[in-house]
Structure 1
Amino acid sequence: MSKFLARWRAADPAFRAFLLGVLLFGVNAGVISAAFNNYLNDTFSLTSQQRGFLEFPRELPGFLVVFMAGLLAAVPVRNWAVMTSLLTAAGVAGLAFLSPTYHLMLVWMLVWSTGSHLFMTVESVMGLRFAKEGGQGRRLGQISGVTNFAAIAGAGAVWLLARSAGPWLYKAAFLFAAAASVVSAFLFARIPASDEDRAPRGRRFVIKWRYKWYYLLNILFGARKQIFLTFAPWVLVTVYGASPAVMAALAMAAAAAGVVFRQAFGELTDRIGERRMFIGDALILLGICAGFAFSSFRPLLYFLFVLDNLMFATRIARTTYLNRIAETKADMAPTISFGITIDHAVSMTVPAAGGLLWAAYGYKSVFFAASLLAVAGLLAALAIDDGRAKKAAPPPSPAPVMPD
């Protein structure tokens, strides 16, 4: 503990402010992750088909990230961080106190979602700013570990409030989340701005052929991610009767494991390369799909739910891959933003299709479809050059000239 405190005191003050801001922003996300599905079910009694279609407006801000990034291209990413925190604070407070109807809930959900999605770019770009060369994966893993630690606090708050707040559960939990985001905005505002990540010469959008595999990985991840964000918890809640306390406990377990797992994932990415990490992710996803499709053993389903949450760490590998192939640092924010946009272009349509599949053929059909995405992800991973090919051997020296 004393070594940790000594390292903390010796760290760059800007990095300390950033980590604390990420910690509190993660508390907000942890509360929403643990409570949102139960909030929808208890407050609005949505059907599985309605829950699927709700993902279209929830993911719309993710689709618009590239355009928001374009508008903010001349603004330091530090300022983006402040804005994202204030947006999530306003959105989650609105869900708590200003959502008496379904349509008003949609408005505040959009506000929260806008801040949450824009922060994806902020976290990656600013995280790389504080990383040493060759240690980008490790640094991003550390930041993800902090996010998971924060999610424990958020899910833990929901877990405690579920036992004590009664009908005030969601108002109390969302107010706690809003307060955490407000403090994170203050911390982000203390970080000095950097001009490195501004768009040069007014260039607001970056789309290049050299980033094609990064784009494809984001498309596949968007489809896979949304199936499990939407339908895995929905299966647990509606098919197996998981209570708010159980869902909060699972979120806490995933976050606790992620504190260590994501740091190890980042370090392993630095060591063996992104390609192998993508291959491993695809194979694990196949196993998760098989479990949800064929098993009704709740402990196994709970384990697979946690494992799938852990494998979202592949975003670290996607970010380090882009950082390795990027032409300039100024390409990072707009390219990550475009990746988020195409990820969410898929995310907005997949849940609706999944809801229709569920309604027509049952929930298992959704996970059969997800297994096809795992196969596509495996093929994409095999096509990627991870930059670790052995250097070509030097050409042989010419044979000596023999006298006649």
Structure 2
Amino acid sequence: MFKRLERINKIQFVYFSIIALTALALGFSHNVISNYFKEAYDITAYQRGLIEFPRELPGVLVIFIIAILSSFSDIRIAMVAQILSIIGIGVLGFITPPFAIMLIFIFINSLGMHMFMPVQDSIGMSLIKDENIGKKMGQYKGVMTSFTMIASIIVFVGFRTGFFSFTTKIKWIFIISAIILGIVLVLLMVLQSLIKEPIKSSKKINFVFRKKYKYYYALVVMWGVQKQIMIVYGPWVLIDILNKRADTLAILNIIGAFVGMFFIPAVGKWIDKYGLKKLLYVDALSFIFVYLTYGLLSAGFASKSLATVGIPVLFAYTLFIVDKMSTQMGMIRTIYLRSIAVKTSDIRPTLSLGLSIDHIVSITCAYLGGIVWSLWGPQYIFFLAASLSLVNLYVASRVEDDRMVKSS
């Protein structure tokens, strides 16, 4: 019994190390990519929207790619994902290719990142042996958030000291990201050697939309809208209108991650204590508040009726941080799916299908968002997102108050 417990603890430690280092690597690449586009290529808001096509297309393709790799275990798929991510971000670290070539490597890196997303959750949930799913998932997300904060601190120091730069030939921040992903690849090999029975869920392309999952898919569609609007155009207000560089966004990410270290584990406990229904209401209302207020601020900044220094900017920073909290509540969707799943083998394929749906919506919103920004102004993007987030409220009202995930 003691040996079994020791082995489980060791496996958990390796998995925690994998998600921690993955978050660190993403902090050196994904979290600063908008600044890279602006400083290295000086793109417009319309071009920023277009770039999301090669960045989000892998999210649509991932369900087919994982199906092709059906003979692979989830951990082996995670290994392939890391190799692609290393190639994509590593090349951009060593050279600044022409815009079109850069998009190819952005696609490769994004493909790896998106392949890792569903298997990361699948592997994590397969290692949970107790009833407190919310608490354990909260711990996973808490570790990720902690290392996101560490990455943001390093990014801030690196750009302030001049060690990191997007205008030099060598982008050390991307090279370091690739090295860390290489370590993750090694740890995945270690994890595979520790687990006696391979973690392998169904990889068939499953387009069966079970009626029971309809609200999960509605949440996924709305997340596609919300993610693209706030993750892409939220920072773009700060970067393009307020001329903020990577070090400023790093400070905001540090604060957001620090708060998230306590907030995300707390969300996991709240799910266990209060149930998913109440948390879905909180999630919906937070998005509506953030988008509506951010739209008002961006309108003021764009029209010069609000000062681009002082309290208005601090308020925008605060909303940016609050949105970090909102986007980190995504585990609610995953846990909701697990609570309603007809069978366990449905979870991974449904997560992959959900990821594809979310990215189809994201690609569309990114393109339309760039057009709306260019023709009418940034505020209308956020007002539209606030209006659409009413769907989240409707879903929350329709979901049963299921306490099956509540801890005993």
What TM-score do the two structures reach when normalised by structure 2?
A: 0.88
Checking the alignment, whether the CA contact within 8 Å between 1:56 and 1:348 is kept in structure 2 is yes
Contact 2:57–2:363 (Cα < 8 Å) also in 1: yes
- 2:92 is aligned with 1:77: no
Of 100, 114, 117, which aligns to 1:117? 114
- Superposition deviation, residue 366 in structure 1: 0.7
1:97 equivalent to 2:94? Answer yes
Question: How far 1:98 sits from its partner (Å)?
Answer: 3.8
- Name the residue aligned to 2:302: none
Query: Which structure is larger by alpha-carbon Rg, 1 or 2?
Result: 1
Deviations along 1:339-390, one digit per CA (max 9) or x if unpaired, are: 100000100110111111111111111111011121111112211124249x
Mapped partners of 1:320, 1:170: distance in 2: 41
Distance in 2, matches of 1:143 and 1:380, equals 26
In 2, the alpha carbon distance for the partners of 1:10 and 1:267 equals 26
Residue 355 of structure 2 is aligned to residue 340 of structure 1: yes
Look up the match of 1:324. Answer: 339
Greater shift after overlay, 88-97 or 217-226?
88-97
- Report the AA paired with residue 220 of structure 1: M
2:391 to 376, 379, 384: 376
Match of 1:15 among 4, 9, 12: 12
Tell me the SS of whatever aligns to 1:64: helix
Using the TM superposition, name which of 161-170 and 375-384 deviates more. Answer: 161-170
Matches within 5 A, 1:265-344: 265-295=267-297, 296=306, 297-344=312-359
For the residues of structure 2 that align with 1:258 and 1:130, how far apart are their CA atoms? 23
Q: Which amino acid aligns with 1:277?
A: L
Per the alignment, residue 178 of structure 2 pairs with: 178
How far apart, in 2, do the equivalents of 1:322 and 1:247 lie?
33
Specify the code of the residue in structure 1 equivalent to 2:366. Answer: P
Using the alignment, how far apart are the partners of 1:307 and 1:132 within structure 2? 32
Which has the higher mean CA deviation after the structures are superposed, 24-33 or 53-62?
24-33
Which of 368, 376, 381 is the matching residue for 1:353? Answer: 368
Amino acid paired to 1:85? Q
1:205 aligns with 2:218: no
Q: 1:222 to 1:170 in 2, by over 3 A?
A: farther
The secondary structure found in structure 2 opposite 1:119 is: helix
Q: 1:364-403 alignment to 2 at 5 Å? A: 364-388=379-403
Q: Deviations over 1:96-149 (max 9, x none)?
A: 124421111101101110111122102211111122443111111111111111
For residues 8 and 322 of structure 2, the distance between their equivalents in structure 1, rounded to whole angstroms, comes to: 32
Percent identical among aligned pairs is 28
Report the CA distance shift for 1:74/1:384 in structure 2 as closer, same or farther (over 3 A). farther
**Aligned residue among 103, 106, 126 for 1:106:** 103
Q: What's the secondary structure of 1:385's corresponding residue?
A: coil
Instruction: State the one-letter code of the partner of 2:214.
Output: K
Find 2:60's aligned residue among 45, 59, 63.
63
**Local SS of the residue matching 1:241:** coil
Alpha-carbon distance in structure 1 between the residues aligned to 2:31 and 2:73? 32
What's the C-alpha RMSD, in Å, of the aligned pairs? 2.0
Letter in 2 for 1:172: W
Pair 1:51-2:32 in alignment? no
Structure 1: how far apart are the matches of 2:255 and 2:282?
Answer: 22
Are the equivalent residues in 2 in contact too, given 1:69–1:333 (CA < 8 A)?
no
CA drift at 1:329: 2.2
Deviation of 1:163 after TM superposition, in Å, equals: 2.1
**Do residues 135 (structure 1) and 132 (structure 2) align?**
yes
Counterpart contact for 2:14–2:191, Cα < 8 Å? yes
Structure 1 stretch 65-74 or stretch 262-271: which is displaced more?
A: 65-74
CA distance in 2, matches of 1:311, 1:9: 36
CA–CA separation in structure 1 for the residues paired with 2:199 and 2:184: 23
Instruction: For 1:33 and 1:152, locate their aligned partners in 2 and report how far apart those are by CA, in whole Å.
Output: 14
1:12 deviates by: 1.7
**How many residues align structurally?**
380
- Opposite residue 308 of structure 1, the aligned amino acid is D
Deviates more, 1:291-300 or 1:242-251: 291-300
204-213 vs 331-340, which moves further: 204-213
Once structures 1 and 2 are overlaid, which stretch shifts more, 301-310 or 146-155? 146-155
Q: Aligned letter for 2:34?
A: N
Which residue matches 2:300? Answer: none
Alpha-carbon distance in 2 for matches of 1:267, 1:17: 23
Distance 1:259 1:272 in 2: 20
- For the 8 Å contact 1:70–1:334, the answer to whether it is kept is no
Cα pair distance change 1:112/1:146, threshold 3 Å: same
Counterparts of 1:380 and 1:325 in 2: how far apart (Å)? 14
